[in-house]
Amino acid sequence: MPLHDASRPDMASLELLVAVVDLGSVSAAASALGLAQPNASRQLSRLERRLGARLVERGARGSEPTAAGRAAVEHARRVLDAADGLVEQVRAASGSGPLRILASQTIAEQLMPTFLAALAADYPEGAVTFEVVNTAGVLAALRRGRGELGFIEGPDMPQELQTLEVAQDELVAVVAPEHPWATDSGVREAGLDADTLAATPLVVREEGSGTRDVLARALAPRRLAEPALELHSNAAVRTAVAGRAGCAVLSRLAVARELREGRLVEVPVRGVDMTRSLRAVWRGVLPGRVEGALQAVIAEFGDRGR
């Protein structure tokens, strides 16, 4: 075989294919991997041309692998695992490499200052890296060996990872003070019906975010209406809602200040449970010297919402 085979797929394309199959859509995979969706679609098409087969059937409800795609994913997982093993072995042999931590956005904003401050006592400067991605991105990174410790807020706990609950949270519906739901005494007292919330175009986070996944799970089997806006940060959602763009459902932790200061108003929702667990996740053995920092987070936030 020649040193460079034009039909040989690149690692990034294999990772994208696996993410599409695991997450169910190109858009969710693109978000998890930090790609623009058009770029992800083009990359997947190039992979299909390189392998000479259609790998994914894309439809209104997501993406499903073809028979060739299932075979490709099975082999791609082994290739990616082998590459991750190579990196880990070289780092272990050289004694190099920082502790890589990833967190979903709500946790990064609310819990991570406490965790990182506690961690700083045991790790010298430069020995820890920290990245903010959504929950799907955290899980994708840990599965591919691109991080040692993650923090997630989604409804499903992956069985191949170790987990520890560090806090509980709940989602709340919020609107601007001028919104009709905020000025309707009946809604404020009796609460909004879950059917009405599901049928309302909301200002939402991107696909793959734990907040959006928890909301969809809480309102199931109802299907969410098409979003009024889809934004990639809690801050952007808060700003849009305060600017009268509509209703959003966000973490109580993420909107606590706006609720206190009156820039947003909570609308009670009846008949659904929107509590969720905020968890640390890792593969194998818990990275050394982090247990104390996790206990600091639990001490500060663990009793909230209970």
Question: What's the confidence (pLDDT) of residue 34?
Answer: 82
**End position of a domain, from candidates 60, 90, 120:** 90
Q: Is residue 306 part of a domain?
A: no
Q: Is residue 84 part of a domain?
A: yes
Q: Is residue 192 part of a domain?
A: yes
State yes or no: pLDDT of 239 exceeds 50: yes
Strand partners, 251: 171
Residue 256 CB neighbour total at 10 angstroms: 13
Cis peptide before 221 (omega within 30 of 0): yes
Please indicate, yes or no, whether residues 287 and 268 belong to a single structural domain of this protein: no
Q: Is residue 6 part of a domain?
A: no
State yes or no: pLDDT of 68 exceeds 70: yes
Question: What's the confidence (pLDDT) of residue 202?
Answer: 97
Please indicate, yes or no, whether residues 141 and 182 belong to a single structural domain of this protein: no
Please indicate, yes or no, whether residues 180 and 249 belong to a single structural domain of this protein: yes
Burial of 123 (C-beta count, 10 Å sphere; 0-12/13-18/19+): middle
Question: How far is 293 from 118, CA to CA, in rounded Å?
Answer: 5
State yes or no: pLDDT of 16 exceeds 70: yes
The parent domain of residue 147 ranges over 96-164+280-301
Question: How far is 219 from 76, CA to CA, in rounded Å?
Answer: 35
Q: Which residues of 37-69 are buried (b: 16+ CB within 10 A; e: fewer)?
A: eeebbebbeebbeebeeebbeeeeebbebeeeb
Please indicate, yes or no, whether residues 45 and 186 belong to a single structural domain of this protein: no
Supply the CATH number for residue 105's domain: 3.40.190.10
Q: Is residue 4 part of a domain?
A: no
Please indicate, yes or no, whether residues 208 and 235 belong to a single structural domain of this protein: yes
pLDDT band at 284 (very low <50, low <70, confident <90, very high): confident
Please indicate, yes or no, whether residues 287 and 158 belong to a single structural domain of this protein: yes
Q: How many structural domains comprise the chain?
A: 3
Please indicate, yes or no, whether residues 172 and 271 belong to a single structural domain of this protein: yes
User: Phi, psi at residue 65, to the nearest 5°?
Assistant: -70, 145
**Residue 140: both structure tokens together:** 């994708």
Please indicate, yes or no, whether residues 237 and 158 belong to a single structural domain of this protein: no
Supply the CATH number for residue 54's domain: 1.10.10.10
Please indicate, yes or no, whether residues 272 and 284 belong to a single structural domain of this protein: no
State yes or no: pLDDT of 1 exceeds 50: no
48-62, 74-88, 158-172, 278-292: which has the minimum mean pLDDT? Answer: 74-88
pLDDT band at 111 (very low <50, low <70, confident <90, very high): very high
Question: How far is 154 from 208, CA to CA, in rounded Å?
Answer: 9
60-69, 83-92, 194-203: which has the minimum mean pLDDT? Answer: 83-92
Q: Is residue 284 part of a domain?
A: yes
Question: What's the confidence (pLDDT) of residue 17?
Answer: 93
Please indicate, yes or no, whether residues 155 and 206 belong to a single structural domain of this protein: no
CA angle in degrees (0–180, nearest 5) for 195-251-305:
100
**End position of a domain, from candidates 40, 72, 90:** 90
**End position of a domain, from candidates 72, 90, 108:** 90
Please indicate, yes or no, whether residues 144 and 286 belong to a single structural domain of this protein: yes
Please indicate, yes or no, whether residues 227 and 241 belong to a single structural domain of this protein: yes
Question: What's the confidence (pLDDT) of residue 92?
Answer: 52
Q: Is residue 102 part of a domain?
A: yes
**Whole-structure pTM over 0.75, yes or no?**
no
Burial of 270 (C-beta count, 10 Å sphere; 0-12/13-18/19+): exposed
Interval 72-96: pLDDT, tens = 999 998 888 787 767 655 655 555 5
Helix or strand run (H / E) with residue 175: strand 162-175
Question: What's the confidence (pLDDT) of residue 127?
Answer: 84
